Amino acid sequence: MLIEINSEYNSQKKTVTNFVTNFNTSGEILGAGKRNVIKLFELDEMIVNIKSFKTPSLINKIIYKYFRKSKARRSFEYASILLKKGIGTPQPIAFFENYNWIGLADSYYVSEHLQCDLIFRELVDTPNYPDRIAILREFVQFSFDLHENGVEFLDHSPGNTLIKKKEDGKYDFYLVDLNRMNFHKTMSFELRMKNLCRLTPSEEMIRVMSNEYAKLYGKPEKVVFDMLWKFTSDFQYKFSRKKRLKQRFKFWK
């Protein structure tokens, strides 16, 4: 097993390793999807979140051993980069990689478990959510800072931003599910708009987002809205089409 641990947690390396070694028989399940399993564990006075990534296919076992970093390693490294840039994400603690003679067998990402007040998806699903427009505008400011720092978060989707309300009534934002990112010196206007197109199908929300982004970026609001709405509409069409095809395939199967 290959292990890399955040130096701040060196004294707890043995305990964290035991969590991963006994992952299948211990811990509290937070989420168990088709691809990954997330469990919570108590580490001294904090809760840690351990994500077990789906066992890779045969070809990916080889790819992750020789050609590409594992999802766990990327999550750990990208979290460290984000924090250095002043961008919110749960504290990275460690990653683990198990290899066999073929390649990568399984991998785990360990991070701080963050108690949040809501996730971005709730703003999409609940039109009357308290303080919704103010939160949305602050989220756009957060996303603008991402782009100014050259961060292209490829999974910038409704379930991947945690939101916490601060004592002053403002909000902090934290990115999760970090294994797909690109880092640039600068980001073009088109790339910025593409990066926001998966967040909501709501035209009302897109108009608010466009208004706020236009003020920050210095472009006419109509220009921002037209491009963001185009990319959003294109994404929603492709998403719906893919969903219909999956349902059709499952029906015939």
pLDDT at 244: 60
**What string of DSSP letters covers 9-37?**
GGGGHHHHHHHHHTGGGSSEEEEE-SS-E
Per-residue pLDDT of the chain (253 residues; tens, 9 = 90+): 899 999 999 999 999 999 999 999 999 999 776 789 999 999 998 999 999 999 999 999 999 999 999 999 999 999 999 999 999 999 999 999 999 999 999 999 999 999 999 999 999 999 999 999 999 999 999 999 999 999 999 999 999 999 999 999 999 999 999 999 999 999 999 999 999 999 999 999 999 999 999 999 999 999 999 999 999 999 998 877 766 656 655 554 4
Looking at the structure, do residues 86 and 153 belong to the same domain, yes or no? no
pLDDT at 252: 47
Looking at the structure, do residues 41 and 125 belong to the same domain, yes or no? no
pLDDT at 240: 75
Note if the pTM is more than 0.95. no
* Tokens 């219909």, residue located: 244
Looking at the structure, do residues 25 and 136 belong to the same domain, yes or no? no
**What string of DSSP letters covers 102-152?**
SSEEEEEEEEEPP--SEEHHHHHH-TT-TTHHHHHHHHHHHHHHHHHTTEE
Looking at the structure, do residues 95 and 133 belong to the same domain, yes or no? no
* Tokens 């007040």, residue located: 117
Whichever domain contains 8, its CATH number is 3.30.200
With respect to residue 102, please indicate whether it lies within any of the assigned structural domains: yes
pLDDT at 184: 97
Q: How many domains does the chain have?
A: 2
Alpha-carbon distance of 253 to 247, in angstroms, equals: 10
Question: Smallest Cα–Cα separation from 73: which of 109, 19, 103?
Answer: 109
39 by DSSP, 3-state: which?
strand
The neighbouring-strand residues paired with 48 are 41, 112
Q: Supply the range of the domain harboring residue 63.
A: 2-112
88 by DSSP, 3-state: which?
coil
